[in-house]
Amino acid sequence: MVYFGDVKPIKGKIHIKKDRCKGCAFCVEYCPKDVLEMSEEFNVKGYHPPFVKDEDACVYCQLCESICPEFAIFVTIKEEEEEGEKGESRP
Ligand code: SF4
Ligand code: SF4
């Protein structure tokens, strides 16, 4: 039987194509977990792209990806190995 406490939340890995970004900050404003923040750097178009402030907080809701008008950000599922977790050892 699987108990609710055994269900692991899905974590997201965020990818930002900085040079596509127009600096609208929609992704930053609408992220429900406050994962992103606008950077001080400029991209090739002269806009400030976002950066990932707290990737561990990302819940893979993909709202940032859906809302970005420039297709400049997308999210993939973070694999357990990437998080440094080890599988349960069984006899
Ligand atoms: S997938 Fe959701 S939680 Fe993760 S950065 Fe995008 S909006 Fe935030
Ligand atoms: S929503 Fe897209 S274009 Fe707007 S700041 Fe975020 S990545 Fe850049």
In which band, very low, low, confident or very high, does the pLDDT at 88 lie, cut at 50, 70 and 90?
very low
Cβ atoms within 10 Å of 26's Cβ, excluding its own: 18
Average pLDDT over the chain reads 89
Instruction: Summarize pLDDT for 66-84 with one digit per residue, the tens.
Output: 999 999 999 999 987 565 5
Q: Which atom of ligand 1 is closest in space to residue 36's alpha carbon?
A: 5
Q: Which atom of ligand 2 is closest in space to residue 24's alpha carbon?
A: 4
Domain limits of the chain?
10-78
What is the mean pLDDT of the segment spanning 40-64? 97
The residue whose C-alpha atom lies closest to atom 4 belonging to ligand 1 is 58
| Closest-approaching ligand to the CA atom of 11 | 1
State whether CATH 3.30.70.20 applies to domain 10-78. Answer: yes
| Closest-approaching ligand to the CA atom of 58 | 1
Buried (b) or exposed (e) across 32-49, using 16+ Cβ within 10 A?
eeebbebbeeebeeebbb
